[in-house]
Amino acid sequence: MSAAPAAPELAEKLRVDKWLWQARFFKTRALAAKVVSGGHVRVNSVRISKPSSTVRAGDVLTFAQAKVIRVVRIEALGARRGPAPEAQALYADLSPPPERETGAAREPVPHTPRYEGKGRPTGRERRKLDLNRRASLD
């Protein structure tokens, strides 16, 4: 009779690497485990280094994903790695909105001159340009 209460207790917590994989933050569970074992994940602001650490609904995870620091609150524990809408229902994103880069840093570097906004000149246009340049040099 003690087996019935044990089943809900098991469902209340889940390995952190498995949850990160089910919530689709990492493509493979091994990659999620590698990030956790590298010490790059915090659960409720406590750094963890074991992928077998457990998480529950209500815990707040902080971790790096690509070049972005993600802060998420676990809303539910998944039963499987389902489609993206199902995975997004597992957490609430608490991350601050990404900062916008300054306009000067995002301007493209001019590498080739543009002729009347048409891109590179065709062969015919190039010959005309060469004729005009020769005429201006004389």
Question: What's the pLDDT tens digit per position in 17-55?
Answer: 999 999 999 999 999 999 999 999 999 999 999 999 999
Q: What is the pLDDT of residues 50-98, one digit of tens each?
A: 999 999 999 999 999 888 899 999 999 989 999 999 999 999 999 888 7
| Mean pLDDT, all residues of the chain | 83
> Amino acid identity of 63?
F
Residues 6+ apart with CB under 8 A from 67: none
According to DSSP, the β-strands at 46-48 and 13-15 are: unpaired
Q: What is the pLDDT of residues 124-134, one digit of tens each?
A: 888 888 888 87
Q: First vs last Cα of the chain: how many Å apart? A: 104
| Domains, the chain, with CATH or none | 11-96 (3.10.290.10)
Q: Residues 71, 62: contact at Cβ < 8 Å?
A: yes
Q: Whats the size of the chain, residue-wise?
A: 138
Q: pTM of the full predicted structure?
A: 0.65
Positive or negative, the CA dihedral 32, 37, 39, 44 is: positive
